[in-house]
Chain A
Amino acid sequence: SYELTQPPSVSVSPGQTASITCSGDKLGDKYVCWYQQKPGQSPVVVIYQDTKRPSGIPERFSGSNSGNTATLTISGTQAMDEADYYCQAWDSSTYVFGTGTKVTVL
C-alpha cells in the first residue's frame, strides 16, 4: 500500500520559516494537499493541488511537490500556526494521509 512519511515534529521560532516534508514514491505524479489540525478541532485544508491556497488561508502558507517529496512551508510563522499538519495524496483511488507533523512555535 502507498505510504507517506512526515517528520514527527518541527520546531520553529516566531517569525521564522517552518518546512514540513512529505515523502512518497513518485509523489510528484500525484496531487498533494495539506491539512492543519488544532487540538479538539476538525482538520482544515491549507494547501490543495500541490500549491494552491484556499480563500482565507494566509499567504505565509505555501506548498511544492516534485519527485518523491512535497513540502509545506510556513513563512513568518506565528503562534497560531502551532498545530498538527498532515499531507494527503490523491489520485483515482489513492487517498493516503501522511504520518503527521507536530509544529511547535517556541
Chain B
Amino acid sequence: EVQLVESGGGLVQPGGSLRLSCAASGFIFSSYWMHWVRQVPGKGLVWVSRIKSDGSGAIHADSVKGRFTISRDNAKNTLYLQMNSLRAEDTAVYYCAKADASWYDYWGQGTLVTVSS
C-alpha cells in the first residue's frame, strides 16, 4: 500500500524556517518524480515544487523561488521541503504528491504550516 506521510509543520514566526518531510512507502520511491502542493484552508490548490526521480531538475513556483528548496533522499525514501524567510502568506496545508507521468496518483494527508507572530 502506497503511503505518503508528511511531518514538520507547525507554528513559526515571520522570517523563520521550517523543514517539511514526506516519508514514502509502498512503492519504489527512487523511480518517481515528487511534488509539493499547498492549500490555504478554504482556498484552492497551489503547486509549489517538483523534483525528478534522481534528485535533479528541482523547480519552484515563482512565489517561493529563492526561499524554498525541494530535495530528496532516495536511500531514506524521503522528500523534503526546506522553507526559509517564511511569510504570513505561506500559511497553508502542505501536501506531498507522487507523480505518475502527468498526474498525481497519491497524496499525503498534509501538514499545516502557520506563519504568525
Binding site for B on A (CB under 8 A): 1, 31, 33, 35, 37, 42-45, 48-49, 54, 86, 88, 90, 93, 95-100
Contacts and interface: CB of A to CB of B under 8 A. Distances in A.
Q: Is the interface of B mostly helix, strand, loop or mixed?
A: strand
23 contacts: A1-B62, A31-B102, A31-B103, A33-B102, A35-B104, A42-B95, A42-B107, A43-B45, A45-B103, A45-B104, A45-B105, A48-B101, A48-B102, A54-B105, A86-B45, A88-B45, A90-B102, A95-B47, A95-B50, A97-B44, A97-B47, A99-B44, A100-B44
Q: Is the interface of A mostly helix, strand, loop or mixed?
A: strand
Given A42-B95, A42-B110, A93-B59, A33 B50 contact: no
Given A86-B44, A96-B47, A49 B105 contact: no
B72 interface: no
B101 A43 contact: no
